[in-house]
Amino acid sequence: MSRTAIIAGAGRLPAALAAALEAPLVCALDGFAPEGLAVDQMFRVERLVPFLHALEDAGVTRVVFAGAVQRPRLDPSLFDPGTAQMVPRLLAAMQAGDDATLREVIAIFEEAGFAVVGAQDVAPDLVPGPGVLCGAPSAADERDAARAAAIVAALGAVDVGQGAVVAQGLCLAVETLPGTDAMLDWVAQTARRPDPAGARGVFYKAPKPGQDRRIDLPTLGPATLARAHAAGLAGIAFEAGGVILLDRAAMVAEAARLGLFLWAREP
């Protein structure tokens, strides 16, 4: 029987994907267990080849990556001979950036005979198409979203981040290594608009240009709404078809309660 493995990281996305699959094999990188989901098998990067063999033995034919991970510290004493041979290509990819690392990981799984699919292939309802889900962006908000989209595209081209905050045409913050929460918290504590009575600003999120969308799609959840509200923003815009929305119904309801717009914007 064909089976799908979820290569899970931290957060709620793996559980959302598991709910859309029949009897998935849930695997997690050691130290990055998913939220609300039992793990069938833990693994380490240093033992990647035995892990791939274990997937094959379990009848897995395709894998989907979901959840947040950070680059683990590698213990040279744990490498098996097969995985040790992969170290040069993995290290070279890591030095080239996150996108290169993820592409190399996909290549390794494909070379082992597994089909790699994206979260949008497993659970398409998690990735909204174009349209305003809640509220009504103003003309000023639309201009700020367009400006933020251009900034995110420029950041992504050099593998920096997937988000930016723009208000009144000015970039208040960009997403870097600390992530979305840290960026929005910084805006809440520090950023000032040129005109206090003017447009409040927009948080925009999108994949990086040229990114392989089978892995590391940006994700938004209810906690992001709370931080955007605390930052004084008018709403959140994101690339239609390119961002995972965790618990859409709850997010729409919370956005309405907070008075924020939620907009899946055409690229």
Q: Average pLDDT of 130-159?
A: 96
- Alpha-carbon dihedral sign for residues 107, 113, 115, 116: negative
- Quickly name the fold that domain 127-265 has: Cytidine Deaminase; domain 2 (3.40.140)
**Strand ranges (E), the chain:** 3-8, 25-29, 41-43, 60-66, 115-117, 131-134, 163-167, 170-174, 202-205, 219-220, 235-239, 244-245, 261-265
- Mean pLDDT within 154-183: 92
User: What CATH class does 3-122 carry?
Assistant: alpha beta
Domain with CATH 3.40.50.20 in the chain: 3-122
User: Which position has the higher pLDDT, 209 or 199?
Assistant: 199
Q: Which amino acid type is present at position 231? A: A
Query: What does pLDDT average to over the chain?
Result: 92
The two tokens of residue 4 are: 């799908």
Decide: helix, strand or coil at residue 125. Answer: helix
Share of the chain above pLDDT 90, in %: 68
Question: Residue range 121-137: average pLDDT?
Answer: 95
